[in-house]
Amino acid sequence: MKLKFTKMHGAGNDFVVIDATAQEIAFTPAQWQRLADRRFGVGADQMLVVEKAQTPGIDFRYRIYNSDGGEVEQCGNGARAFVRYVTEKGLTAKRAIRVETLSGVIEPRMEDDGGITVDMGAPVLEAARVPFDASGLQGQPQNDDTLWPLDVNGHTVLVSAVSMGNPHAVQLVDDVDAAPVLQDGPAIEHHPRFPKRVNAGFMQVVDRHAIRLRVFERSAGETLACGTGACAAVVAGIRRGLLASPVRVGTRGGELSIAWAGGNAPVLLTGPAVTVFDGEIEL
């Protein structure tokens, strides 16, 4: 079949976006992997599928597939690309839209200055709901957060377990450029205490309103930016008393900004979303 798509990125986290509002899209994992392949296909960290909403009061449904073809619950950078896509393609005239995802409703909004902010909902911090299996473990309280010791490649790392709809394990490092992201990332991603696997964040605190972050993403490897990872890192840093909202997040692909008032308040993610090109592929 000939498939029309749009290539986009949010701070270098790149996507193939597909309009499924007028056509049913149901690809096999192998077809998703082919689309994501940077040599045999288009190339992307994730694929985003735009669908009509099933629920009254909701504007769209948004499905996310990692480059391994697995469907996941949430994607923060993708949500910004999503709202730019439906706006540019004339699928909506609204500036703020309500979008149903596997993990709940998010609300991306086009700002007057062209920036995009997404209400990503409240973080989930209860270990069992991340999900993180804390059985038999002695957590180490740090302010409002609990750090969990993980045995990774023969050494122990202390992680915060946070869900933004998708699971994150965030650790503090002195220098993200020197952090063992590619060595420890896979071991954390597949750690048995994360039954749905996990996105592994490596956060360097610059000051109370700025961090640098690298994320080894579940099923995608290290990406240039991870929106939900930025949300999870800032939530963990605020709960540990290291950060204060808003926080600028420096990633290898660009800068994101996160605001969170604590507790059950929503996490607000602001950042770029760029359309690179429209294309067509025989799939």
Ligand X SMILES: N[C@H](CCC[C@H](N)C(=O)O)C(=O)O
Task: Name the residues that contact ligand X, by CB under 6 A.
Answer: 13, 45-46, 66, 72, 75-78, 166, 199, 217-220, 223, 226-228
CA distances from 72 to 48, 89, 96, 203 (A): 10, 24, 23, 23
Binding site annotation covers 199? yes
- What is the pairing mode between strands 60-66 and 99-101? parallel
Q: Which is nearer to ligand X, 31 or 228 (CB)?
A: 228
Smallest distance, Å, CB 142 to ligand X?
A: 24
Cα separation of 12 and 250, whole Å?
12
Binding site annotation covers 264? no
**For the stretch 200-223, what's the b/e string if a residue is b when 16 or more beta carbons lie within 10 angstroms of its beta carbon?**
bbbbbbeeeebbbbbbbbbbbbbb
Binding site annotation covers 280? no
Q: Which is nearer to ligand X, 107 or 217 (CB)?
A: 217
Residue from 130, 107, 93 nearest 270 by CA: 107
Cα separation of 47 and 26, whole Å?
12
Cα separation of 147 and 243, whole Å?
16
Smallest distance, Å, CB 143 to ligand X?
A: 25
Q: Which is nearer to ligand X, 13 or 160 (CB)?
A: 13
- Cα dihedral sign for 196, 173, 159, 229? negative
Q: Which is nearer to ligand X, 78 or 108 (CB)?
A: 78
- Cα dihedral sign for 186, 188, 189, 192? positive
Binding site annotation covers 77? yes
Catalytic residues, which ones? 75, 226
Binding site annotation covers 66? yes
Smallest distance, Å, CB 23 to ligand X?
A: 24
Smallest distance, Å, CB 267 to ligand X?
A: 11
- CB neighbours (10 Å) of residue 52? 12
Which segments are annotated as binding site for substrate? 13, 46, 66, 76-77, 166, 199, 217-218, 227-228
Which parts are annotated binding residues? 13, 46, 66, 76-77, 166, 199, 217-218, 227-228
